[in-house]
Structure 1
Amino acid sequence: MQQNKSGQEKTRPNVIVILADDMGYGDLSCYGNHWITTTHLDSLAADGVRFTDGYSTAPLCSPSRAGLMTGRYQQRFGFELQVSSGAFPERKEVRLDDGSLGPIQGEEEFLRRGIPVTELNMGELFKRGGYKTGVFGKWHLGHGDSFLPQNRGFDKSTVFYGNTSIQYTDLDDPSIVSLKVDFHDELINTAWTRAGLNEIRENGKLIDVDEYLLHFFRDRALDFIEEHKEERFFLYFSMNAPVPPLQVPRSYFDRLKTEIPNINQRGYNALLLAQDDAVGALLAKLTEHNLDENTIIVFVSDNGCAESRPGSNGIFSGGKFNTLEGGIRMPFIIKWPGQIQPGTVYEKPVSTLDILPTVANACSVPLNEGVQLDGRNLLPFLQKKKMGQPHEDLFWKIAHFAAVRSGDWKLYVDRNRGLKQLFNLKDDPEERIDQSNIHPDLFSTLLEKLRIWENSLPKKAWSNYYGNTLISKSKR
């Protein structure tokens, strides 16, 4: 592109989107974690904006990533559920919508699952816009040829395709602490393996990795910045933490021995510290090359922490798998020096849907022509050029769960349990007091909005096992 040599091109910012895996709202110290100090992630909030009411589009890894990467509700293209679970999903029976077991589906079924080519993700848009693009970490957006990152806009990809992968394969190495804390640990061929979809691939080619995986992906991201420091780049750092398996370098674990006597709690928070330091390494690399003042950094989690794990969803009820606040309200931070006022705290509802239109507009990257985004460009709101709130309503739908956020009010639906409840999140953020009988008109209005929205969607493109009903229940 001739534009690459223009003055405008030199002023366009780089973009780094950092996505945590299953990090709860209360896991960072800037969001209330009193066990540890997440120095580097806190610095992003201090230097940028921290969202108090930031949401993912689903309480589950794969669909939430589809919404983030496209800026559209993933249900609009049938992507309601996971593309895969475990290292060999084709070998497992499927749990049908009625709870019964269906047949083993086979590899062909899973190869057809992913973001349709009619939907452009951030990698594709930024590559078209003249940026060098890279993704490092967890992909989980489809492993058929047409869904692979190297075929969907990313110049460089070093990823695993599945929902998790073992951090370190030598379980006898005393320098790594390995803990089993969660139902993932009991599932065959899921967390504690580096086989199948958990294998590491570089631009599609299998590679052997005998390093601690979080650090390996960190180093590949650093290499990408180093390689493209003289160019505009878009980096998607999809971190494989703090999702299980819970493995962490002993140096981090031992650091917390006095502060956190509970071993599982200590291990989880030690992993958060390792994750924070990995982000710190990226920040240091940007500073080293004087890129920090012209780089937009977004940090967010894909969904909340599962209630069975030692993480924290703050004061909120629920967690991963359900649409209570603990499952969908995320730590969410954006830093852009000179454009976003340091120390900003933004309290109106925003969504990971908003990331794509926000960074694309900031970088003068054209959007997918003819496709209506559900996300909003947040910059006019953050810069106080536009009043009001970015979204009148936000919607969720996954399996038997649904929700609508409208101002301070939220409709929560769990069809398996026959629940339809109305909460005022300003007065009752823990979602304990159902006000559907107190405000029947508002309750009916939100139910109708949900009905209209759901009826506008196509049928989900596939079905598969969705969690465990015991896990999906709220602690309320």
Structure 2
Amino acid sequence: MFRTLPFLLFAWTHALAATPNILFILADDLGVRDLSIEGSTYHETPHIDRIAREGVRFTHGYATCQVCSPSRASIMTGKYPARHGITDWIGAATGKNWNRNNRILPSEYTLHLPHEDTSLAEALKEGGYRTFFAGKWHLGGEGSLPNDHGFDLNIGGHHRGSPPGGFFSPFRNPKMKDGPKGQSLPLRLANDTATFIKDKAGSPFFAFLSFYSVHGPIQTTPDLWKKYRDKAGKSPHQGDRFLIDRTLPVRQVQDCPIYAGMMETMDDAVGIVLKALDEAEIADNTIVIFTSDNGAEVTAKTATGPVRSNKGSCFEGGHRVPFIVSWPKGKIAKGKVSDQLIGLQDLYATFSEIMGVPLPDLRKGEKGAEDSLSLLPAWRGKKLIARPMFYNDHKESKDGAACAMRLDNP
């Protein structure tokens, strides 16, 4: 026994060293064409673009719902909203409290992330990962916060879906101390995440950086406002700046300096955590994912084209999102673009495969991650199996398109 112990310790240490770290960056209400790598000539996002240059950019990435809480719950459970039960943003009026004159009332929904499901963080923690959460949670209050669902450390995650104090300190966040007056919220979250990365660089970690950006209120600094105001004045765009889609005026050109300033600050925050990976010399074996929880907000000063409509709608603008992944040691080709159909609920099965942990066997009646498919083959350039994808309308009677399904030809 004593002769084999050193070998076992070596094997265990080697296995931990080979296990990739995971840095998952989730934007809030980001339009599918807001990034410069996605075609924006007005917004500047060099750090996010770097992830795409070092990995794969998926042009057909989808959230499971057009609002935040259901989509975020799908990430954490590997399930569609109809299965995990959170079918609207938590806090929204529903049932008999729905105060619009509709013939059909929206159904009641679950008000917190279900405890009976093994969350993504819990699964990773069981696999030996240190887990960290920073930013927007919006999956329940006390008793259903990040620490209650597998995260070792929670900074800023609470029941609210928008930043209580806006994007500058004082933050008025019950789970995060205020910084110096005027401190940037996304930069603060990024610096706290960077500190965690450096502290845990010797063991596998799962760091979930969940920005409030670019959810309202739309705010930026005077310097960034001036920068993008001047840039907007040089825009070559000709023609209408808005078109009417049904009753909604849809912006056709990106020229809002406040929104562009928010985009730059969020990108700078991404740069902070990428720099932390570089300085800790762990970037090669860290999976970095950047995506959004749903499409651009209705009130956002951004263009959502070429897709129709935006957040809250079952049309594509509501649930089509950017999705970028890099992992140098994971045999992911650099600078590739894929048009394969993927969903945010697929991350659960993807990380399970990477850890070598089998998903529940549905054929035997086991439950869990029923709607999740591993994306690892697609990350490496292989074809995924054809399957339908479903998109939930959080208020069934609000839109003419109450729900949607996409089925690509096999």
TM-score (norm 1): 0.71
8 Å contact 1:15–1:359 — kept in the other structure?
Answer: no
Q: Which residue of 2 aligns with 1:167?
A: 166
2:211 aligned to 239, 245, 248, which one?
239
Distance in 1 between residues matched to 2:188 and 2:369, nearest whole Å = 37
Distance in 2 between residues matched to 1:259 and 1:50, nearest whole Å = 27
* 3-state DSSP of counterpart to 1:215: helix
How far residue 122 of structure 1 moved from its aligned partner, in angstroms, is: 1.4
Q: Which residue of 2 aligns with 1:180?
A: none
Q: Which residue of 2 aligns with 1:200?
A: 174
Distance in 2 between residues matched to 1:357 and 1:3, nearest whole Å = 29
2:69 matched to 1:78? no
Distance in 1 between residues matched to 2:211 and 2:167, nearest whole Å = 15
Q: Are the structure 2 counterparts of residues 383 and 256 from structure 1 closer, same or farther at C-alpha, using a change threshold of 3 Å?
A: same
2:118 matched to 1:127? no
How far residue 357 of structure 1 moved from its aligned partner, in angstroms, is: 1.4
Distance in 2 between residues matched to 1:307 and 1:164, nearest whole Å = 15
2:377 aligned to 372, 377, 380, which one?
380
Distance in 2 between residues matched to 1:127 and 1:392, nearest whole Å = 30
2:409 matched to 1:404? no
How far residue 318 of structure 1 moved from its aligned partner, in angstroms, is: 0.8
How far residue 36 of structure 1 moved from its aligned partner, in angstroms, is: 2.7
Distance in 2 between residues matched to 1:194 and 1:278, nearest whole Å = 17
1:225-260 deviations in Å (ceiling 9; x for gaps): 121111110011000101111121233223223211
1:171-192 deviations in Å (ceiling 9; x for gaps): xxxxxxxxxxxxxxxxxxxxxx
Q: Which residue of 2 aligns with 1:280?
A: 271
Distance in 1 between residues matched to 2:392 and 2:166, nearest whole Å = 31
1:94 aligned to 86, 92, 97, which one?
97
2:149 aligned to 142, 147, 152, which one?
152
Distance in 2 between residues matched to 1:347 and 1:233, nearest whole Å = 30
How far residue 281 of structure 1 moved from its aligned partner, in angstroms, is: 0.8
* 3-state DSSP of counterpart to 2:287: strand
What pairs up with 1:347-386 in 2 under 5 angstroms? 347-365=339-357, 367=359, 370=366, 371-384=368-381, 386=382
1:165-208 deviations in Å (ceiling 9; x for gaps): 133467xxxxxxxxxxxxxxxxxxxxxx955xxx2315xxxx33
8 Å contact 2:133–2:154 — kept in the other structure?
Answer: yes
Q: Are the structure 2 counterparts of residues 130 and 217 from structure 1 closer, same or farther at C-alpha, using a change threshold of 3 Å?
A: same
Q: Are the structure 2 counterparts of residues 293 and 116 from structure 1 closer, same or farther at C-alpha, using a change threshold of 3 Å?
A: same
Q: Which residue of 1 aligns with 2:28?
A: 21
Q: Which amino acid aligns with 2:378?
A: F
* 3-state DSSP of counterpart to 2:188: helix
8 Å contact 1:397–1:403 — kept in the other structure?
Answer: yes
Distance in 2 between residues matched to 1:238 and 1:390, nearest whole Å = 30
* 3-state DSSP of counterpart to 1:305: coil
How far residue 161 of structure 1 moved from its aligned partner, in angstroms, is: 2.4
1:117-147 deviations in Å (ceiling 9; x for gaps): 11122111111111100000000011141x1
Q: Which amino acid aligns with 1:122?
A: L
Distance in 1 between residues matched to 2:100 and 2:137, nearest whole Å = 26
Q: Which residue of 2 aligns with 1:462?
A: none
8 Å contact 1:129–1:366 — kept in the other structure?
Answer: no
Q: Which amino acid aligns with 1:302?
A: D
How far residue 97 of structure 1 moved from its aligned partner, in angstroms, is: 7.8
* 3-state DSSP of counterpart to 1:54: strand
8 Å contact 1:20–1:242 — kept in the other structure?
Answer: yes
* Structure 2 gap ranges (5+): 1-7, 236-253, 397-401
Q: Which residue of 2 aligns with 1:342?
A: 334
State the identity %: 30
Distance in 2 between residues matched to 1:52 and 1:408, nearest whole Å = 17
Q: Which residue of 2 aligns with 1:143?
A: 141
How far residue 379 of structure 1 moved from its aligned partner, in angstroms, is: 1.4
How far residue 328 of structure 1 moved from its aligned partner, in angstroms, is: 0.8
Q: Which residue of 1 aligns with 2:57?
A: 50
Distance in 2 between residues matched to 1:168 and 1:67, nearest whole Å = 26
**What is the total number of aligned residue pairs between the two structures?**
365
Provide the aligned C-alpha RMSD in A: 2.9
Q: Which residue of 2 aligns with 1:416?
A: none
1:359-402 deviations in Å (ceiling 9; x for gaps): 23223355467324312111123324x53x34411011222220
8 Å contact 2:348–2:369 — kept in the other structure?
Answer: no
Distance in 2 between residues matched to 1:3 and 1:76, nearest whole Å = 42
What pairs up with 1:397-436 in 2 under 5 angstroms? 397-398=392-393, 399-400=395-396, 401-407=402-408
Q: Which amino acid aligns with 1:350?
A: I
2:261 matched to 1:270? yes
Q: Which amino acid aligns with 1:345?
A: V
Q: Which residue of 1 aligns with 2:399?
A: none
How far residue 15 of structure 1 moved from its aligned partner, in angstroms, is: 0.2
How far residue 335 of structure 1 moved from its aligned partner, in angstroms, is: 0.7
8 Å contact 2:171–2:178 — kept in the other structure?
Answer: no
8 Å contact 2:131–2:152 — kept in the other structure?
Answer: yes
Q: Which residue of 2 aligns with 1:35?
A: 42
* 3-state DSSP of counterpart to 1:51: strand
How far residue 224 of structure 1 moved from its aligned partner, in angstroms, is: 0.9
